[in-house]
Structure 1
């Protein structure tokens, strides 16, 4: 897959099949659209293009604070590549771009830059300045500029049941099962292992503190989770805690740390990826350290039992 950091940087002599959107999460609903793009590109001897945007248009147009997203740019690239997309264009979304009229967008971007043969979009797609143009306008432009338009119905991509917003809500509520079901894969966070206070080591549960560089990445609800942990290109069982460690720490700063079962290696500053499996419980403050250790041992047994019934794959 070829990656372009702006529309202007895209160069290709071939005809293209295009879809566009934020595709946050690249969830099962999105995959219905992407599969159609890939199928059409092969059938019509053209190349597939996904045009997506960063930052999220809503943060630019509505002046809201940074919107938490399901995927980092790197994760989105990986997921699109796994799908088999030929070209991914990640365009910087700003107010100047938002002021393009519908016809300017069609003529300058789709026709002149992308050499479009066909566009495939969802049922409610709107585009152009103030999002005033709809599917009927796009069909008219297609007739004028000689490209096909295919609209995917709400029923076909099951949008009533799956949306990025619903997945964000599920993660904010700690409902990992539902989020993973909608995504079609295990929700993940990635970062580097940072040095912490090493308090876990003193109670027999040494943890890796995870620093996530992308501030826009959505972190699920605070609590204790069963997780798969990928480090050194190997996968391990893990118990993840998102929270403030109220029993041993008074700073009230949120931390993300994972206890990796049967693991004893120096991984400071190494990349680490967490795949969420199941939420075990809320974080809570214990009266004594022994009470905390007893709970952690219980969590460990639950984790081992979970993976015994759900082997790594």
Structure 2
């Protein structure tokens, strides 16, 4: 079991001993379908995430505790993929000795080669089993893959509806003295930390710096009108934020404004950005 680094071993072990109900799954995005599972947990419940490492997430594992009121525990997929269904349950019971209630989704599968289904838990565990049915919003199945597809198509409002929150990217702010601050509009240059990018283009966003939420527009894509390099940058409206280092910034995506495109010159680009700003303000 992976114990969270910001808990020392004994404190985390004590926390484990209090867990009597557990929701199990990948839980990427912590969307409304996942929330339905969490609603079945007791006050001494916990969330066990099966983490199969990849390059891009809707919500990377290290950020999930920001969105959950329950303690989070992790199994690395590479540590458990070889276990049979029975061996997986044995490990679970050993790691959580006071476990009385397991909560999973209808499509949960476990054991080597995914050979065991959610219903098999009834045969392998003596306690209570809750299997949560498929969750639909506007007749759309709420799945992480569905949300990812919506984001990659620029359908931000629909993705946010399925998430039950605004899609966010936490990113490192770095200073870059480029064309934006000199000739166009000043921007915060951001370095993504394993989050899935929405479709390239310009977005209406909110930028959270420490505890302050600021109105903004955000660009994702290649800077086709200048150096053609990929960029993730945000212009905060009506605020002078130049020459400051903010560390980590949260960008919340509200809606898609327009496609990325090449302009004849920087003057044309600046005029279009002003139109984008006016659109957001109005």
TM-score if structure 2 supplies the norm length?
0.89
Is 1:263 matched with 2:260?
A: no
- Pick from 81, 88, 91 the counterpart of residue 105 of structure 1: 88
SS of match in other structure, 2:264: coil
- Residue matched to 1:242: 220
> In the superposition, relative to structure 1, how do residues 141 and 159 fare at CA in structure 2: closer, same or farther (>3 Å)?
farther
Is 1:89 matched with 2:66?
A: no
- Residue matched to 1:77: 65
- Pick from 210, 226, 233 the counterpart of residue 190 of structure 2: 210
SS of match in other structure, 2:199: coil
- Following TM superposition, by how much is the alpha carbon of 1:67 offset from its aligned partner in structure 2, in angstroms? 4.7
- Residue matched to 2:275: 298
Determine if contact 2:150/2:156 at 8 Å carries over to the other structure. Answer: yes
- Following TM superposition, by how much is the alpha carbon of 1:236 offset from its aligned partner in structure 2, in angstroms? 1.1
Determine if contact 2:33/2:134 at 8 Å carries over to the other structure. Answer: no
SS of match in other structure, 1:116: coil
What is the total number of aligned residue pairs between the two structures?
A: 273
Task: Return the alpha-carbon distance in structure 2 between the equivalents of residues 164 and 15 of structure 1.
Answer: 26
Whichever structure has more strand as a proportion of its residues is 2
SS of match in other structure, 2:250: strand
- Residue matched to 1:63: none
Kindly report the root-mean-square deviation, in angstroms, between the aligned alpha carbons of the 2 structures: 2.3
Determine if contact 2:135/2:141 at 8 Å carries over to the other structure. Answer: no
Task: Return the alpha-carbon distance in structure 1 between the equivalents of residues 137 and 153 of structure 2.
Answer: 25
- Per-residue deviation, residues 131-162 of structure 1 (Å, max 9, x unmatched): 111234211122xxx31112122258999521
> In the superposition, relative to structure 1, how do residues 158 and 287 fare at CA in structure 2: closer, same or farther (>3 Å)?
closer
Report the more deviating stretch, 96-105 or 217-226: 96-105
Q: Which structure 1 segments of 5+ residues have no match?
A: 57-65, 306-313
Determine if contact 1:10/1:89 at 8 Å carries over to the other structure. Answer: no
- Residue matched to 1:254: 230
1:1-313 aligned within 5 A: 4-5=3-4, 10-11=13-14, 12-14=16-18, 16-37=20-41, 41-42=42-43, 47-56=44-53, 66-80=54-68, 84-85=69-70, 87-94=71-78, 96-109=79-92, 111-114=93-96, 115-142=98-125, 146-154=126-134, 161-212=141-192, 214=193, 216-249=194-227, 252-265=228-241, 266-268=243-245, 270-305=247-282
SS of match in other structure, 2:26: coil
- Following TM superposition, by how much is the alpha carbon of 1:21 offset from its aligned partner in structure 2, in angstroms? 0.6
> In the superposition, relative to structure 1, how do residues 15 and 223 fare at CA in structure 2: closer, same or farther (>3 Å)?
closer
SS of match in other structure, 2:102: strand
> In the superposition, relative to structure 1, how do residues 169 and 227 fare at CA in structure 2: closer, same or farther (>3 Å)?
same
> In the superposition, relative to structure 1, how do residues 155 and 172 fare at CA in structure 2: closer, same or farther (>3 Å)?
closer
Task: Return the alpha-carbon distance in structure 2 between the equivalents of residues 15 and 259 of structure 1.
Answer: 44
SS of match in other structure, 1:71: coil
> In the superposition, relative to structure 1, how do residues 15 and 208 fare at CA in structure 2: closer, same or farther (>3 Å)?
closer
Report the more deviating stretch, 226-235 or 159-168: 159-168
Q: Which structure 2 segments of 5+ residues have no match?
A: none
Task: Return the alpha-carbon distance in structure 2 between the equivalents of residues 156 and 199 of structure 1.
Answer: 45
